Structure 1
Amino acid sequence: MPLVLISGFPSSGKTTRSLQLKAFFASKIASSDDNRVSRLKVHHINDQSLGLLRQVYHTARAEKDARAEEYSAVKRVLSRDDIVIADGMNYIKGFRYQLYCEAKAVQTTSCVLRPILTVSEVHIGTPANKCREINKKLLADAENDGGYEEQDFENLIFRYEEPNGMTRWDSPLFTVLDEDETPPFDQIWEALVGSDGKAKVVRPNQATVLKPATEQNYLYELDKTTSDILAQIMAYQKDHVGEGGGEISVPGVEKPIEFPATPMTLPQLQRIRRQFITLNRQHSFTKSRIKEIFVDYLNDQFLR
């Protein structure tokens, strides 16, 4: 069922808000007469439930492994009959996008809950003094695993990528301030489950529906076709230096590629291409449709 992503500074109260949500969901499900709602289950996944210590943030490799473990745990239980509260760091927008895609792949809803201590303290790359004070108290408690080492804490604060409610994977976005007694329970329930137990139907993008590849040379065509389109884009941008926006017509595709106002660099385009290939490595749409689907994917990425 729905996926709730918790995102915020370290020691900002993410787990506290997660447990409040879990209790609310459990109460709502227990009191419902709707069969669709009453069979829902609630799962709370965080570092503690996965047995991960704060020391995993000492190195990039250990942190990457921790994210992979959270991703796998969420994916295992995510379904139309399960509410999953992903109470991890979730501070990297690319990781939030991955989880959003997983929710969309099983045709269920998702939202992001962002606990913050005060509005004035939320700045990208700026330390949050109140979070730091709380973290120091937790760290001083030898029996408590809730504190982060000072260097890890500052590093996480610096690298935090603030959710943006204008992007698809970060919306709907609910912000909870420190002075708020509870998250906006009713609004979150409405967005995820619906007031009548019937949330909006979520349809996965065709590019993210996994199907086995059946055509010969499919992977070769996937690689070559996407590479050729990127070459066409770079050639266009080279001929239109200093011009924002614009369109490129790809032979055999009805819709053009619509450029954003800011030109795309080759590394940015390559990253989008790699994501597309990874998502579609096992898909079975015909080779003749690779161009069309890749153009749709590019336009979707450019609009974000």
Structure 2
Amino acid sequence: MALVTISGYPCSGKSTRALQLKDHLERRFQDPSYPGQPLKVLILSDDILNVPRDAYSNGRSEKPARGALFTAMQRQMGQDTILIVDALNYIKGFRYQMYCAARELKLRVCTVYVVATQELCREWHNARTDGLVYPPETFENLLMRYEEPSSMVRWDSPLITIPWTDEDVPIDDIWKAVMEGTVKPPNAGTQAIPKAPTDALRTLEHTTTTMVAAIMAEQSASGGLGGPVALALASDLKIQITLPSRNVTLSELQRIKRQFVTVHKKAITLGTTEKGAVDWGEHSIANKFVVYIEENLKP
């Protein structure tokens, strides 16, 4: 249903806000006036995944820590779940990656920016007695590296900012974002690329070679009159093509064939982003080759 990304300085109160939000959402789902089926509300955090605070001390340990968070997020996202990711989420590139994963599953998204001054964060960090503290250098480094969310970019929108002076989360704004917000379709970068069948290359080469031979045979029979011509490629496959009123040489057709095959080989081996299923059957390839020949043959 939705992904809520919590972002803010370390020890800015993110976990407190995540718990407040979870409590409000669950109470609204249990309210008799709620018309639908109650959704699951889950919180995902470094603490739940047992990621230690010193994992952010260097890039070698930070990268797998973020990877573990992202993998767990992908497992728990779903149409029946509101997932609250309570983590630093301080790198805009990582927030974008999370946003793309949510769009791929057609989930609503929302970013909650928990705001507190650096001085307050230091004070709250030093006052912790639960042992969940960062090494001093790591803490200062995280403050310095923090990339603030912006409502001007799509992956942080809608952006809901909660200052440290607010006692509670603006549940009405968040509810509207996760329950009524626009569901954006997956972008091209997140869509699975349709793969061609295993015999597509053989069909491409065989069909184009057969068509070149059929055109040359038809020209010999008609004396190069040109105009609309029916090519019999197989007992059940006949293709119409319009040829120029001159003799088309074999070298011309071979050159056009090589160009056509080269272009379509790339689409077969790397995949294509065309919408819908791509037909690599003999009839489809023959029709595409006809269009290509007609566009590239000089009158």
State whether TM-score is above 0.5: yes
User: In the TM superposition, what is the alpha-carbon distance from 1:286 to its structure 2 partner?
Assistant: 4.8
In structure 2, the partner of 1:29 is: 29
Answer yes or no: is the 8 Å Cα contact 1:113–1:175 preserved in 2.
yes
How many residues are paired up? 208
Alignment of 1:61-210 (within 5 A): 61-117=60-116, 121=117, 128-138=118-128, 141=129, 144-194=130-180, 199-210=181-192
In structure 2, the partner of 1:222 is: none
User: In the TM superposition, what is the alpha-carbon distance from 1:35 to its structure 2 partner?
Assistant: 6.0
| 1:2-57 Cα deviation digits (max 9, x unpaired) | 10000000000000000000111111112255564x24111100011111111211
| 1:240-260 Cα deviation digits (max 9, x unpaired) | xxxxxxxxxxxxxxxxxxxxx
Q: Percent identity?
A: 39
Answer yes or no: is the 8 Å Cα contact 1:47–1:53 preserved in 2.
yes
Higher strand share: 2
Partner SS, residue 273 of structure 2 = coil
Answer yes or no: is the 8 Å Cα contact 1:210–1:283 preserved in 2.
no
Give, in whole Å, the separation in 2 of the partners of 1:58 and 1:207.
Answer: 31
Give the 3 Å change call, closer, same or farther, for CA 282–207 of structure 1 in structure 2.
farther
Partner SS, residue 181 of structure 1 = coil
Which runs of 4 or more aligned residues in structure 1 lie more than 6 Å from their structure 2 counterparts after TM superposition?
A: none
Give, in whole Å, the separation in 2 of the partners of 1:98 and 1:81.
Answer: 21
TM-score, length of structure 2 as denominator length = 0.64
User: In the TM superposition, what is the alpha-carbon distance from 1:205 to its structure 2 partner?
Assistant: 1.6
In structure 1, the partner of 2:7 is: 7
In structure 1, the partner of 2:214 is: none
User: In the TM superposition, what is the alpha-carbon distance from 1:214 to its structure 2 partner?
Assistant: 2.1
Give, in whole Å, the separation in 1 of the partners of 2:63 and 2:194.
Answer: 28
Q: Letter of the aligned partner of 1:31 in structure 2?
A: D
Give the 3 Å change call, closer, same or farther, for CA 212–46 of structure 1 in structure 2.
same
Give the 3 Å change call, closer, same or farther, for CA 111–282 of structure 1 in structure 2.
farther
- The root-mean-square deviation of aligned C-alpha atoms, in Å, is 2.5
Answer yes or no: is the 8 Å Cα contact 2:194–2:273 preserved in 1.
no
Give, in whole Å, the separation in 1 of the partners of 2:41 and 2:114.
Answer: 20
Q: Letter of the aligned partner of 1:90 in structure 2?
A: N
**Where does the alignment leave 5 or more consecutive residues of structure 1 unmatched?**
122-127, 219-280, 288-304
Q: Letter of the aligned partner of 1:176 in structure 2?
A: I
In structure 1, the partner of 2:40 is: 41
TM-score, length of structure 1 as denominator length = 0.63
